[in-house]
Amino acid sequence: MNELFRLSDPLDLYLVRHPRPDVDPALCYGVTDLPVAEDIAACAARLRTVLPSGAAVVCSPLARARLLAEALSEGAQLDERLRELDFGEWELKPFADIPAGGFDVWGSSLIDFRAPGGEPYADMARRVWDAFDAHRRGRSTLVLVGHNGPMRALTGTLLGLPADRWLNLEFDFGRVTHLAIGPLGPKLRAFNR
């Protein structure tokens, strides 16, 4: 992963976070496949007003992202590498039941974070970068539909932010973030549109 990513052939990258999942916000969740609490068709209709038509759409295989991607494009591609972080033993556990200090590394050294039995944050960031790198080639426009954690890692990497600042990026449910990437590096064109 590069500190500053440049492309000789420009790329418009649109990151779309899935709609709000049907889950208690007091629960820790990541890779758990959850149903959606919002109307997918209505969300897709709103997003179509801000997304370019005819763009390649690639998504996480988790239903909350996949269903939206399929509503946006009949040709949506699934990529397992775009799934959310696996929180291991903390999946669907109330935050109040996570041992004191459990998230200390999360806040102080995100890239070193790993929940018990879960996936290292650094591994998630690497697989998401690999997915982006594979799908961007030969395209001028790309839409990725996914999750907050992977979008933080990808956007933070593209913008050259240190990993401990990635948590400052909060992607809203059912919203679009647009990065234009060219010879001078990435430019943030819209956030949570």
The answer to whether residue 2 is domain-embedded is no
pTM of the model: 0.94
Domain that holds residue 26: 11-190
**For position 90, which CATH number holds?**
3.40.50.1240
The answer to whether residue 1 is domain-embedded is no
The answer to whether residue 38 is domain-embedded is yes
The answer to whether residue 3 is domain-embedded is no
What band does 111 get if pLDDT is binned at 50, 70 and 90? confident
Question: DSSP assignment of the chain, as one string?
Answer: --SS---SS-EEEEEEEPPPBSS-TTEE-SSS---BSS-HHHHHHHHHTTSPTT-EEEE-SSHHHHHHHHHH-TTPEE-GGGSPP--GGGTTEEGGGSPTTTTHHHHH-GGG---TTS--HHHHHHHHHHHHHHHHTT-SEEEEEE-HHHHHHHHHHHTT--GGGGGG--PPTT-EEEEEEETTEEEEEES--
pLDDT score of 187: 95
pLDDT score of 6: 64
What band does 1 get if pLDDT is binned at 50, 70 and 90? very low
* pLDDT above 50 for 47: yes
The answer to whether residue 78 is domain-embedded is yes
| pLDDT tens per residue across span 48-81 | 999 999 999 999 999 999 999 999 999 999 999 9
Bigger pLDDT: 7 vs 149: 149
**Domain tally, the chain:** 1
| pLDDT tens per residue across span 140-183 | 999 999 999 999 999 999 999 999 899 899 999 999 999 999 98
pLDDT score of 175: 99
Mean pLDDT of 112-140: 94
pLDDT score of 3: 43
